[in-house]
């Protein structure tokens, strides 16, 4: 096997475990899509829902929730064909779209913080990449519960909206006329 960063899977008495490149147990990402709450599976004989959940988790962890939702079936087929046996190692480079799909440009999915307007984003429909950009833009920790992160984002949105309203109100108070600074 090649070196470098990789996801790892193993079958054990407790079920199938998958580890991130950092050595943590891979989250099932049930908040993205709940196909198999019980766990993962892989290989040619894998249960469809369990291999779908593995595809969702790997894509959501390494790319975006939108890519996971839009392409998990295609990626699950790739996993069915590529992962065999009780143990496997999948380099992070093999999860990049150019390995298993010609339809995705991951770079287009990841906006910079400057490109995202918090007042125009629908929090219920945003991708994880947009959420990360907003958190970076407003100095909010991405490593907290979704509810806490969303609450902080909503507070940031209200602060931005009130700043906009305050600046518009000051313009209307003077009829849009700006007084020159008093000379001394």
20-61 residue pLDDT tens: 999 999 999 998 888 888 889 999 999 999 999 999 999 999
Average pLDDT, rounded, for the chain: 80
Report the distance separating Cα 184 and Cα 178, nearest Å.
18
Is the Cβ–Cβ distance between 18 and 1 less than 8 Å?
no
Give the pLDDT band of residue 2 (cuts 50, 70, 90).
Answer: very low
Q: Which range is least confidently modeled, 18-22, 73-77, 92-96?
A: 92-96
Determine how many CB atoms are found less than 10 A away from the CB of residue 7.
22
- Residue 183: count other Cβ atoms within 10 Å of its Cβ: 4
pLDDT digits (tens, 9 = 90+) for 6-18: 899 999 888 899 9
Measured distance CA(153)–CA(134) in Å, rounded: 8
d(CA 110, CA 89): 26
Phi and psi torsions of 52, nearest 5° = -60, -45
* pLDDT tens-digit series, residues 134-149: 888 898 876 666 677 7
């Amino acid at each position: 096997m090649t070196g470098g960063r990789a996801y790892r899977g193993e079958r054990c008495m407790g079920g199938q475990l998958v580890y991130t490149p950092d050595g943590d147990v891979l989250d099932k990402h049930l908040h993205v899509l709940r196909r198999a709450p019980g766990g993962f599976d892989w290989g040619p004989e894998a249960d469809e829902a369990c291999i779908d959940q593995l595809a969702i988790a790997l894509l959501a962890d390494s790319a975006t929730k939108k890519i996971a939702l839009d392409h998990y079936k295609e990626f699950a087929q790739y996993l069915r064909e590529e992962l065999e046996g009780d143990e496997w190692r999948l380099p992070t480079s093999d999860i990049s779209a150019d390995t298993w799909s010609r339809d995705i440009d991951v770079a287009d999915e990841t906006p910079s913080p400057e490109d995202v307007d918090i007042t125009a984003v629908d929090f219920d429909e945003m991708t994880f990449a947009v959420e990360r950009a907003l958190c970076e833009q407003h100095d909010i920790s991405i490593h907290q519960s979704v509810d806490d992160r969303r609450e902080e984002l909503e507070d940031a949105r209200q602060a931005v909206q009130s700043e906009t309203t305050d600046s518009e109100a000051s313009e209307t108070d003077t009829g849009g006329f700006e007084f020159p600074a008093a000379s001394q």
